[in-house]
Amino acid sequence: MQISDLATEQKLMPLLRQAFRPMFLLGGAFSAIAMLLWGLVLAGHIQLTPFANVLFWHSHEMIFGFVVAIVIGFLLTAVQNWTGLRAPHGKTLLFITLLWLAGRLVLLFGQSLPLVLVAAIDLSFLPVCAFLLAKPLIQTGQQRNLFFIPVLALLTICNLLMYIGVAYHRYDLQQLGSQNAVWLVTLLMTIVGGRVLPMFTANGTQTKKAEPIVWLDRIALGSLWLIFILHFLTLTQYIHAYAISVLFAISAIAIAIRCARWKIWITAKVPLLWSLHIAYWFIPIGLALYSARYAGLPISNSVALHALTAGAMGSMILSMMARVSLGHSGRVLKPKAIMSVAFILVIAAAVSRTLLISIWPLETTHWLMLGVAAWCVAYLLYVIVYFPVLTTPRPDGRPG
């Protein structure tokens, strides 16, 4: 691996040696802070006046603030393993970290700033990161992973749509941007999870790896791409709702079959595995809810959406951060026992936000507050437990 020599590496602040370090630490802390503020607003304890409005801020920041930070932290760390070339570190990593942080600050405190300035700061993050990701991939001819670049470009377009919606007072465009970003992140989770979960499960349980079924994977991923395209191009209005329902059902069934083949029941003793499996199961659950919604059942978009965001994204991100932080810092893949509590709490937050609200809608406020509290504690636990892991050198003395 072409990396800086050890002496040079040791001069670097540990936090700036790999992208997962600042992005996971700050992204995890930000999610807890942002969710706490959102909960206080919902409870009527504070009045928040961020850029645009508080609803825009919540829907935007949980995807383009929190989720995107973790995605970038993962990709700019993984690219070093994929290519053998040194991933962004030092001053370059500091720059993109500050760029991400600037976006969070102008969205929260920039209500009096020009829209163009806020948008320019926030929108610049993903293209800069896409360039840093593409460079080593192109240098080494890593065709398999180049698809991440157009996905990041599409996420940038979704982000731009949200700002255009603000500029022209078009809530439909804001929703178009945020909803399609959810489809894209769901697609990323399905792809990455499909790559790593069978391997993680086999290694963690000392069992035979479940080999992929090509036709099943093509149906699962192809249907998700089609769902994104139809919604992104606003073609759903020209298609019968039952046809879209069938598309969602096909996607949900295909992904559920993939999940079942990975045998969640053999992971009960390994928190880093069962937490990932449960997170992945939220994907077909969310898609099934959308199928039911398009079929005419009384399921709100909010409930189906949060199965994918609070459920799949929230749970998978916490579990992946816990695993990647240990593995890439040269530590044993065995988290502290308290992290099992964090995994359970973030799953409880998703259940509260989707299932409990659906069963007892009259108690919606209580379920919302329960979900907010569980989420905040879960991510706060990650920040506290992993702060020393992310801010100190690898114990084996290797770079990274």
CB 163 within 8 A of CB 115: yes
Displacement of CA 301 from its chain's centroid (Å): 19
Q: Stretch 118-124: mean pLDDT, rounded?
A: 98
**pLDDT confidence of residue 4:** 47
Going by pLDDT thresholds of 50, 70 and 90, the confidence category of residue 394 is: confident
Q: Is pLDDT above 80 for 138? A: yes
Model confidence over 46-88: pLDDT tens digits?
A: 999 999 999 999 999 999 999 999 999 999 999 999 998 989 9
Q: Is pLDDT above 50 for 3? A: no
Least confident of 57-61, 82-86, 104-108, 302-306: 82-86
**pLDDT confidence of residue 381:** 98
- The pTM assigned to this predicted structure is 0.94
CB 71 within 8 A of CB 193: no
CB 354 within 8 A of CB 303: yes
Q: Is pLDDT above 70 for 1? A: no
Going by pLDDT thresholds of 50, 70 and 90, the confidence category of residue 374 is: very high
Going by pLDDT thresholds of 50, 70 and 90, the confidence category of residue 6 is: low
Q: What is the mean pLDDT of the chain?
A: 95
Alpha-carbon torsion 306, 308, 314, 315, what sign? Answer: positive
Q: Is pLDDT above 90 for 266? A: yes
**pLDDT confidence of residue 396:** 78
Consecutive H or E run containing 114: none
**pLDDT confidence of residue 7:** 65
Dist CA 224 CA 251 (whole Å): 6
Please, how many CA atoms are within 13 Å of residue 2, restricted to the half-sphere of its CB?
A: 9
Dist CA 345 CA 219 (whole Å): 33
